[in-house]
Structure 1
Amino acid sequence: MTLTDDTAPHSDRPFLIGVAGGSNSGKTTIAHRLAEMMGDDRLSLLKLDSYYNSRSEEPIEVRAAANYDHPDAFDWDLLNDHVAALSAGASVDVPIYDYTNHDRSDDFETVNSTKVIVVEGILVLWEPRLRERFDLKIFVDTPADLRIIRRLQRDVAERGRTPESILDQYLTTVRPSHERFIEPSKRYADVIVPEGGLNRPAIEVLLARVRELAG
């Protein structure tokens, strides 16, 4: 794990953390560990997956075939607006995504401004406007074989998909997008965590550092 010393909040606004990495790299595990450490009253979590573009006008066959690992799949304007609002002390209504229908649901989750705000997702270090907002940028670096195994386990168990469809999606969209967009964004990270949530020593060092920086 590489950690620089020039990661510190610049004002009394919330301390902003970006957690990026490949699909199923362990980003969510690390984000949740941060949330457990800080507590719900001190840390708010935004997930990039909540900001997939609405595709309600498209047939479900088209939605199912879309590349959800490409930057164009996300509503960056809304996410940036929400991060700006939270930084200013306001609350935001975050969309809830329906993975079964490949579209936003009609429901929202209200997220309040807190001392620490974590934005987690595959491309949060790729988007320049968002990246510039972060006080601490983390990249979770996990080998591809582990990531695809975790994806198979998750999508079969939680999303009712077949192994064949998962592997086809991985080869046609997930892997190419990772190599083109996600992996190159690692160069912007202040902290690189190998093995993701399996790297307990690195996570403990990271948690201690966040506690020190965020106060």
Structure 2
Amino acid sequence: MRKSNKPFIIGIAGGSGSGKTFFLKSFLNHFKPGEVTLVSQDDYYIDAGVMSMEENKLFNFDLPSAIDHKQFVHDISKLVHGEIVYKKEYNFNNPLAVVKTLEIKPAPVLIIEGLFILHFQDIAALLDHSIFIEAKGSVALQRRISRDDIERGYPKEDVLYKWHNHVVPAYKEYLLPYKSSCHRIVVNNDNTPEKIIELTDAICRELKLQQLNNC
């Protein structure tokens, strides 16, 4: 336990295609049940309604205004104060998706992840440790193309449009300026799970030791 009841809060930020999702899964595997909880910015997109493929292509989800910032902060505050959060899972405007209600329980370690968590200053101020995940542009783009084809059925042309007109400009304006202020920068250009697992293991050992020293 720490000196206060406040959880140890870790922020994990990374652009699209940085490999943040696999890093997170590996990171979470180093904690026991009840030790850690995750709140994701992706579950706080403002519902844009059912859109056609063309409307979806043109709509810019890569802006801070696309996030329900007020609710995001409200739910983080509840977790910090030991309260359970119930939140509908965002379905990325997929009308066929089965919407789940997420039960997010407070825990000694709280992980907040998302593109804008460093840009939202009230959230950034809560972080005890921040991790920036990055990959070079060509690698990130290929990961994005693959993901959007497999998971969301987006044509490559639409993915490229969003990449050049929405994703890259948002990354440069709302994430990259905060890179140097993060406690740790993880370069993730390889698709080698073993390297990420080894890295997350080392980070978790270090952070757990840091928490013990703060007791």
- Would you call these one fold, judging by a TM-score over 0.5? yes
Paired residue for 1:32, among 17, 25, 37? 25
Cα distance change of structure 1 residues 179 and 10 upon mapping to structure 2, 3 Å threshold: farther
Contact kept, 8 Å, 2:12 with 2:111, in 1: the verdict is: yes
Where do 1:1-215 residues align within 5 Å? 11-56=4-49, 59-60=51-52, 62-101=55-94, 107-195=100-188, 198=192, 199-200=195-196, 201-215=198-212
Query: What stretches of structure 2 of length at least 5 have no aligned partner?
Result: none
Cα distance change of structure 1 residues 214 and 175 upon mapping to structure 2, 3 Å threshold: same
Contact kept, 8 Å, 1:51 with 1:74, in 2: the verdict is: yes
Instruction: Output the CA distance in 2 between the equivalents of 1:62 and 1:148.
Output: 21
Per-residue CA shift, 1:111-139, capped at 9, x if unaligned?
00011110111121111000001111111
Cα distance change of structure 1 residues 194 and 106 upon mapping to structure 2, 3 Å threshold: closer
Letter paired with 1:188: S
Letter paired with 1:99: F
Q: Shift in Å at residue 86 of structure 1?
A: 0.4
Instruction: Output the CA distance in 2 between the equivalents of 1:162 and 1:54.
Output: 22
Letter paired with 1:203: T
Aligned residues between the structures: 205
Q: Shift in Å at residue 30 of structure 1?
A: 2.1
Q: Superposition RMSD on alpha carbons, in Å?
A: 2.3
Taking structure 2 as the reference length, the TM-score comes to 0.86
Cα distance change of structure 1 residues 105 and 180 upon mapping to structure 2, 3 Å threshold: farther
Q: Which has the higher strand share?
A: 1
Q: Secondary structure at the match of 1:38?
A: coil
Contact kept, 8 Å, 2:44 with 2:72, in 1: the verdict is: yes
Q: Shift in Å at residue 41 of structure 1?
A: 1.4
Cα distance change of structure 1 residues 113 and 62 upon mapping to structure 2, 3 Å threshold: same
